[in-house]
Amino acid sequence: MRFGSFVFPVSHHPENDSVVIDNTLEEIQLAEEIGMHSVWLTEHHFDGAAAHADPLVLGAAVAARTSKLRIGFAVVELAFHHPVRLAIQTALLDNLSHGRLIVGTGRGSAYNHYEYLGFGITMEDGIARLDEAEELMVAAWTGEDLQHRGEHWSIEFPLLRPRPFQKPHPPLVRACISEASTVKMAEIARPVMIGIQTLPNLQSRLERYRATMLDAWHSEQDTEATLDQCWASRDLFVAESYDEAQEIAAFGFERERTHFRRARELFNPGGFPPPDPNRPAPAGEVLEHAFIAGTPSQVADQVAEMRDIGVRNLMLKLNTGEMDTHQVRKSMRLFGEKVMPLFSDANAK
């Protein structure tokens, strides 16, 4: 298995943003020190859900401060970017990092209407533009004398400079909320990032992804190679005792969920509806599904469960709800020293 750090640094108050950003960069450097494969940078705006807001600028800082970590986006919200400008910025970042970039894309938040309004578009616009934006970005990375006439953009230019460091371009990974979107990506052999699911649902989705690729006449070899680039998500906290790990995880988790909920209630037009008591909460809103937490041996057992259902790459949120950074670093070191060595290919490229 490969392990990546899912960087989602909530800042609960504007005056804390700078400190949270500094702590986040130090935690990213520690992720490289303990031997993690990658760091995955989020994008959210206007609410402190991601203190840095912009994964491209933060990615440049990460490229300057690290030498081995792959730098991924989870995700860059395509709705908020002009695809040619994004192609230029990512090509530059790929060069600055000497080919360490992974471009994770998605339409943007499924809940935060205020983010779209802040960029002068609607959530529906974001959905409609996604596929064309990706198509145009790839064409910009790889083409010459580009002429694009699409539904949303009409563009022509001779050559994008700089060209990406990786050839033909940085790897693309799509974040998929629904099973239908996961199947759509399997049909075109696009690796996916799958958010928090129960273990049975996650296993089912990975199995369906594999079956869909094979049904679409992709070879067994290509199917395995594509699955080897897919990622699943969990939050993580490791401590010397189970009770300590659970207490810190539960506090951070509830604090983060409260922050998200309040922002949606305050900033979304018309507020945010309360959860339907007749429907089960999404897995990502349930502590026992969202978190891997416990002693190193307990955490190793939980990671092994995920490996055994077919997870090859695990994206771990190491700081949930603006946890104390000293506690986070201790948890990371325990994970690096006592858990990662049990999974021998954790440094796989």
Residue-wise pLDDT tens digits, 264-278: 999 999 999 888 888
344 pLDDT tier (thresholds 50, 70, 90): confident
Give residue-wise pLDDT tens across range 72-121: 999 999 999 999 999 999 999 999 999 999 999 998 899 999 999 999 99
**Percent of residues, the chain, with pLDDT higher than 90:** 95
Token pair in block for residue 349: 């490229």
Segment 261-269 long-range contacts (CB within 8 Å, at least 24 positions apart) = 263/47, 263/48, 263/49, 263/112, 263/114, 264/111, 264/112, 267/46, 267/47, 267/112, 267/114, 268/111, 268/112, 268/113, 268/114, 269/113, 269/114, 269/117
Mean pLDDT, range 118-128, rounded to an integer: 94
Mean pLDDT over residues 172-182, rounded?
A: 94
Give per-residue pLDDT as tens, 196-216: 999 999 999 999 999 999 999
Does position 349 have pLDDT exceeding 70, yes or no?
no
For residue 172, is pLDDT > 70? yes
> Model pTM?
0.96
The mean per-residue pLDDT over the stretch 284-299 comes to 97
**Whether the predicted pLDDT of 348 surpasses 80:** no
Task: Report d(CA 207, CA 192) in Å as an integer.
Answer: 13
- Mean pLDDT (whole number) for 168-185: 96
132: which residues sit within 8 A by CB, 6+ positions away?
A: 83, 150, 151, 152, 153
- Residue 347: is its pLDDT beyond 50? no
pLDDT digits (tens, 9 = 90+) for 51-76: 999 999 999 999 999 999 999 999 99
| Mean pLDDT, the chain, integer | 96
Q: What is the DSSP letter of 277?
A: T
Please tell me the predicted confidence (pLDDT) of residue 345. Answer: 63
The full DSSP string for 122-147 is -HHHHHHHHHHHHHHHHHHHH-EEEE
DSSP-assigned states of every residue in 221-242: HHHHHHHTT-EEEEEEEE-SSH
